[in-house]
């Protein structure tokens, strides 16, 4: 039931191609195969009704909900002046101009959230590398991130990049062949019984495959953590690229999912992207509010398959512990294991005095220090063990 | 598309009518996606919160188009043996014993024999691809519960509508089944699977649509009661709850009211029946009592304004 004449559908297809390109620039991945599909789909639905046209393109060009906003804005801008099939001109400059227009949502987001300070800090760390402080790795491993020079920081980053996180593997329900497995693989057994010529049928066995549980990292990037947060970003980058199923979030006054940025292999590009995407660096902390936001918006999506949660924070809450009790309780119930890394734990006489710290301590499975390379390395051992005794403040 | 089965809808309006005949109230966007999936022979990937009617679509399609519904419920560790096919090992063993007792069959004939279709147990995916006068509706429910290896296997099935059994060969559907995949988004489905599907996110319905759904699905509820129930649920969805009530919960609640012989809501009965709507203790505790009374008086005021 295509209603368009040939030349008209020619204009239309060109405009669809431009529209797809605009979407791509705005950050919605639309493959060329999808464009062909869209053209086919439009011959089926027709282009008489604007809403049908809209939802046809939506069904073809979208494959996750987050992109919907972007699509909606781009659609509005791109097809704004075009009464369908009336004023469409093929591949004109106007089309390109409108296409640029439609990338604004993406750019606007980036610009509005762009933060230059952290980028500067990260860049400052590099030029000093040749300074006098090219100290021994051994010494460096014990030094607090807080008191490192930028050159030492650079060296520490290299050490962190080598860290691996052996969280104990868990048994999945998927089977694979194994000589000493508990279960008998009937299929393989029958196959092999036909192969040999003896009367004895050797039993083939199989067992459950093991794999790492998914890991979710929630990292505090507020002012009190500012000296550490850069190192933790490096740490998060290292573990994100070491295994699959890692989700990373940073929070200060609000929560941002930075998983996608940290997946970039190159650590500098990855951290650059993170700084651009996150707006609340080195501000206050609202731990309770951000954790309950995580519970509401993300927990069902990322904690579904028995995830381990790493919470990196000093526990100093600007809100004085509001919502903290309920949200931590919910978080602990939703995950396999909740591990709190606290850089303040380096002080021998650490006492959980702050309200936030006291509340959070009641809800975590493990409470571990994380203030230098060595403690992060120890962390890898601690996490490999099944369970830690809960933290007891010194008497 | 040659040889189109007779009852497939010809337009988006047709699709809407078709679903409506099956007592499913669908928005125009959803109908567009379904219509395209039917006509383009593509799987339809439906995502949305629990209880918004994702699974129901497959059932309604099967019923109104007069197709068989084949359902594959996904879970972690779902493998080929329970999703596609399995050999009937005990029968195979007996066959081997019998052949040995008779002592006249060669090994090769025996092998060909016990790995023939006679000993094949067909699981949902294979059933969906087998020749039949009318291709069935294949519902792959809660794909997010399965693991990545199964998703990877599904690629072959969804792309070419075929499965390969090493001992027998490739089985390919003459006419592709209507495939509906649902996901609750407890994890992200791989892009490669998504690329082969048409995608639609089902949102909670607006008041008018939800009222129509309640009237169809809980016909014993009085008009006034249905209005109040829907208004109450819509208010709850605006709150910051851990799990918002879905349409399934709304229908349950309306039915609960009918069973309790209520013609309108009052604070007491709301408090007693909140368990039909909210499934987390935190949420129930938040709404029970003052909050419920407040919402009730709010919707009273609004409903009396509109009438």
Q: Does one domain contain both A58 and A192?
A: no
Phi, psi of A362 (to 5 degrees): -70, -20
Q: Kindly determine whether residue B79 and residue A175, on different chains, have CB atoms separated by under 8 Å.
A: yes
pLDDT band at A274 (very low <50, low <70, confident <90, very high): confident
Q: Greatest CA separation found in chain A?
A: 86
What is residue A164's predicted lDDT score, i.e. its pLDDT? 66
Q: Report if residue B42 sits inside a domain.
A: yes
Q: Does one domain contain both A322 and A242?
A: yes
CATH number at residue B134: 3.40.50.300
Beta-sheet strands, E only, within B128-284: 137-141, 162-165, 169-172, 178-183, 198-202
Most confident residue range from A17-26, A275-284, B97-106: A17-26
Q: Does one domain contain both B129 and B270?
A: no
Q: Report if residue B257 sits inside a domain.
A: yes
Q: How many domains does chain A have?
A: 3
Residues of A in contact with B196 (CB under 8 A): none
Q: Report if residue B5 sits inside a domain.
A: no
pTM of the model: 0.77
CA distance A215 to A246: 5
Tokens encoding A314: 């000093």
Q: Report if residue A393 sits inside a domain.
A: no
Contact in structure between A287 and A356 (CB atoms under 8 Å): yes
Q: Does B39 touch chain A (CB under 8 A)?
A: yes
Q: How far is A124 from chain B (nearest CA, A)?
A: 37
Burial string for B104-128 (b: 16+ CB within 10 Å, else e) reads ebeeeebbeebbeeebbeebbbbbb
Q: What's the whole-number average pLDDT of chain A? A: 73
Q: Kindly determine whether residue A174 and residue B40, on different chains, have CB atoms separated by under 8 Å.
A: no
Beta-sheet strands, E only, within A292-353: 308-312, 337-342
Q: How far is A260 from chain B (nearest CA, A)?
A: 13
What three-state secondary structure class fits B73? strand
Q: Does one domain contain both B112 and B164?
A: no
Q: Kindly determine whether residue A174 and residue B149, on different chains, have CB atoms separated by under 8 Å.
A: yes
Question: With 0-12 CB in 10 A as exposed, 13-18 as middle and 19+ as buried, what is A204?
Answer: buried
Name residue, tokens 């039949």. Answer: B132
Q: Does B8 touch chain A (CB under 8 A)?
A: no
Q: Report if residue B240 sits inside a domain.
A: yes
Q: How many domains does chain B have?
A: 3
Q: Report if residue A230 sits inside a domain.
A: yes
Query: Which one of B28, B96, B183, B242 would you mutate to disrupt binding with A, by most A Cβ within 10 Å of its Cβ?
Result: B242
Q: Report if residue B6 sits inside a domain.
A: no
Q: How far is B277 from chain A (nearest CA, A)?
A: 17
Q: Does one domain contain both B238 and B154?
A: no
Q: Does B283 touch chain A (CB under 8 A)?
A: no
Q: Kindly determine whether residue B47 and residue A65, on different chains, have CB atoms separated by under 8 Å.
A: yes
Q: Does B77 touch chain A (CB under 8 A)?
A: yes
Q: Report if residue A136 sits inside a domain.
A: no
pLDDT exceeds 80 at position A143: no
Tens digit of pLDDT at every position of chain B (307 positions): 334 444 789 999 999 999 999 999 999 999 999 999 999 999 999 999 888 999 999 999 999 999 999 999 999 889 888 999 999 998 988 888 888 788 766 777 877 888 888 999 999 999 999 988 889 999 999 999 998 889 999 988 888 899 999 888 999 999 899 999 999 888 888 888 999 999 999 999 999 999 999 999 999 999 999 999 999 999 999 998 888 999 999 999 999 999 999 988 999 999 999 999 999 888 899 999 899 999 999 999 988 877 6
What is residue A1's predicted lDDT score, i.e. its pLDDT? 42
Q: Kindly determine whether residue B32 and residue A301, on different chains, have CB atoms separated by under 8 Å.
A: no
Q: How far is CA A299 from the centre of its chain?
A: 13
Q: Does one domain contain both B157 and B293?
A: no
Q: Kindly determine whether residue B111 and residue A55, on different chains, have CB atoms separated by under 8 Å.
A: no
Q: Kindly determine whether residue A44 and residue B35, on different chains, have CB atoms separated by under 8 Å.
A: yes
The ipTM value here is: 0.73
Q: Report if residue B7 sits inside a domain.
A: no
Q: Does one domain contain both B79 and B100?
A: no
Q: Does one domain contain both A201 and A222?
A: no
Q: How far is CA A151 from the centre of its chain?
A: 28
Tokens encoding A14: 């060109």
**Which domain covers residue A205, as residue numbers?**
174-211
Contact in structure between B176 and A52 (CB atoms under 8 Å): no
CA distance B278 to B67: 35
Contact in structure between B36 and A59 (CB atoms under 8 Å): yes
CATH number at residue A361: 3.40.50.410
Q: Does one domain contain both B289 and B187?
A: no
Q: Kindly determine whether residue B199 and residue A44, on different chains, have CB atoms separated by under 8 Å.
A: no
**Which domain covers residue B94, as residue numbers?**
87-117
Question: With 0-12 CB in 10 A as exposed, 13-18 as middle and 19+ as buried, what is B178?
Answer: buried
Q: Does one domain contain both B49 and B175?
A: yes
Q: Does one domain contain both A355 and A278?
A: yes
Q: Does one domain contain both B40 and B130?
A: yes
């Amino acid at each position: 039931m295509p209603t368009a004449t040939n030349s008209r559908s020619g204009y239309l297809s060109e405009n669809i191609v431009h529209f797809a390109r605009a979407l791509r620039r705005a950050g919605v991945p639309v493959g060329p195969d999808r464009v062909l599909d869209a053209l086919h789909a439009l011959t089926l639905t027709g282009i008489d009704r604007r809403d049908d046209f809209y939802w046809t393109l939506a069904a073809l060009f979208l494959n996750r909900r987050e992109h919907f906003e972007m699509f909606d804005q781009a659609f509005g801008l791109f097809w704004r002046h075009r009464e369908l099939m009336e004023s469409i001109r093929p591949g004109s400059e106007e089309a390109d101009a409108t296409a640029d227009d439609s990338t604004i949502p993406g750019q606007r987001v980036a610009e509005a959230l762009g933060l230059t300070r952290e980028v500067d800090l990260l860049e400052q760390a590099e030029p000093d590398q040749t300074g006098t402080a090219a100290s021994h790795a051994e010494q460096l491993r014990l030094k607090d991130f807080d008191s490192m020079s930028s050159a030492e920081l650079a060296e520490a980053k290299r050490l962190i990049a080598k860290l691996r996180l052996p969280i104990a593997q868990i048994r999945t329900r998927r089977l694979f062949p194994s000589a000493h497995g508990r279960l008998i693989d009937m299929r393989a057994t029958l196959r092999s019984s036909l192969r040999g010529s003896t009367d004895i049928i050797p039993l083939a066995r199989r067992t459950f495959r093991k794999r790492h549980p998914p890991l979710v990292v929630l990292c505090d990037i507020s002012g009190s953590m500012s000296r550490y947060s850069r190192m933790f970003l490096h740490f998060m980058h290292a573990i994100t690229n070491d295994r699959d199923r890692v989700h990373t979030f940073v929070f200060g006054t609000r929560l941002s999912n930075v998983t996608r940025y940290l997946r970039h292999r190159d650590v500098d590009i990855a951290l650059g992207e993170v700084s651009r995407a996150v707006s609340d660096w080195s501000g206050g902390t609202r731990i309770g509010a951000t954790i309950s936001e995580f519970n509401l918006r993300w927990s069902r999506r990322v904690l579904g398959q028995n995830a381990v949660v790493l919470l990196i924070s000093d526990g100093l809450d600007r809100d004085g512990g509001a919502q903290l009790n309920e949200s931590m309780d919910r978080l602990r119930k939703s995950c396999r294991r909740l591990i709190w890394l606290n850089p303040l734990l380096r002080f021998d006489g650490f006492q959980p005095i702050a309200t936030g710290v006291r509340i959070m301590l009641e809800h975590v499975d493990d409470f571990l220090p994380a203030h230098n390379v060595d403690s992060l390395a120890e962390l890898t051992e601690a996490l490999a063990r099944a369970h830690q005794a809960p933290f007891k403040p010194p008497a | 598309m040659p040889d189109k089965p007779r009852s497939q809808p010809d337009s988006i309006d047709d699709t809407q009518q078709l679903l409506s005949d099956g007592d499913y109230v669908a928005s125009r966007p959803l109908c567009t996606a379904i219509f395209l999936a039917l006509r383009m022979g593509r799987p339809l990937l439906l995502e949305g919160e629990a209880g918004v009617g994702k699974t129901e679509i497959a059932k309604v399609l099967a019923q109104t188009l007069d197709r068989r519904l084949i359902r594959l419920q996904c879970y972690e560790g779902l493998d080929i043996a329970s999703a596609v096919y399995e050999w009937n090992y005990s029968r195979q063993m007996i066959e081997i014993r019998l052949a040995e007792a008779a002592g006249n069959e060669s090994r090769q004939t025996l092998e060909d024999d016990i790995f023939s279709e006679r000993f094949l147990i067909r699981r949902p995916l294979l059933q969906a691809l087998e020749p039949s006068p009318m291709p069935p509706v294949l519902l792959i429910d809660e794909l997010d519960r399965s693991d990545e290896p199964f998703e990877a296997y599904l690629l072959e099935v969804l792309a070419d509508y075929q499965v390969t059994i090493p001992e027998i060969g490739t089985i390919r559907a003459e006419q592709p089944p209507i495939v509906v995949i649902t996901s609750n988004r407890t994890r992200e489905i791989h892009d490669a699977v998504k690329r082969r599907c048409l995608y639609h996110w089902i949102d909670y319905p607006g008041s008018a649509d939800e009222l129509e759904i309640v009237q169809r699905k809980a016909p014993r509820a009085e008009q006034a009661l249905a209005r109040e129930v829907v208004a109450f649920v819509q208010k709850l969805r605006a709150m910051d709850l851990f799990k918002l009530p879905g349409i399934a919960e709304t229908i349950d609640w309306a039915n609960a009211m009918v069973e309790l012989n209520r013609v309108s809501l009052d604070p007491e009965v709301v408090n007693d029946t909140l368990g039909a709507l909210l499934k987390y203790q935190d949420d129930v505790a938040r709404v029970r009592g003052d909050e419920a009374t407040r919402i009730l008086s709010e919707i009273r005021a609004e409903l009396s304004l509109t009438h």
